[in-house]
A and B are shown apart, each in its own frame.
Chain A
Amino acid sequence: KQEVTQIPAALSVPEGENLVLNCSFTDSAIYNLQWFRQDPGKGLTSLLLIQSSQREQTSGRLNASLDKSSGRSTLYIAASQPGDSATYLCAVRPRETSGSRLTFGEGTQLTVNP
């Protein structure tokens, strides 16, 4: 059974800092990995999707890397802003063709202080 772990569970940083969120998964047979953002009382917003054959994806100040063989992904946020405060979730999708479910980690709650 796939298990996804995110470290740290919570993180508080001053505005402007660069930071790294970590995600690990136990089964490397994945099709892709996604990073989501969740604001209180709202649904999930997809930030980045990395295919299993890719090593990284970038969008603006966000960069996500994937090391499938070691079961790890990192989300790098450059020059953090108070508006980045949210819970960040990573999720993996299995490789089998009928597997559509996402398995999520428990999330990292990020607070960026002005």
Chain B
Amino acid sequence: GAGVSQSPRYKVAKRGQDVALRCDPISGHVSLFWYQQALGQGPEFLTYFQNEAQLDKSGLPSDRFFAERPEGSVSTLKIQRTQQEDSAVYLCASSLNDRALAKNIQYFGAGTRLSVL
């Protein structure tokens, strides 16, 4: 596709409900990133994939958060037993190839706005 696509754009969940957020990266992009952006804050790193390998998940706030990219393209961020503090915009980004670190621009999707009631 032309850019990074995320779905759904908006998600309202009841506390305790499980949610799944989808990211379609730019075709051919090797690296994929998830960020969490709270209202009025900058994005904070959650996790990073290179192809299907999850190389860094140190930013995931708890074991209720799980991300996968089984075929090295589409990725899903799953949040189990959602809590109010999970309310945020979840941004996905992709970049072409991590080997050329210096010139690797991350392209961001529009995000999924999650509201937990």
Contacts and interface: CB of A to CB of B under 8 A. Distances in A.
A32 B31 CA distance: 17
Contacts of A42: 110-111
A89 B59 contact: no
B110 A106 contact: no
Given A103-B45, A106-B42, A49 B105 contact: yes
Nearest to B46: A101
A28 interface: no
Interface residues of B, number: 30
B108 A102 contact: no
A56 B18 CA distance: 45
Say which size band chain A's interface belongs to. Answer: 20 to 34
Contacts of A81: none
Interface of A: 4, 6, 31-32, 34, 36, 41-46, 49, 51, 89, 91, 93, 97-98, 100-107
Interface of B: 4, 31, 33, 35, 40-45, 48, 55-56, 59, 91, 93, 95, 98, 101-111, 113
21 contacts: A4-B42, A6-B42, A31-B102, A32-B102, A36-B108, A42-B110, A43-B91, A49-B103, A51-B102, A89-B42, A93-B101, A98-B55, A100-B56, A101-B45, A102-B43, A102-B106, A104-B42, A104-B43, A104-B44, A106-B40, A106-B42
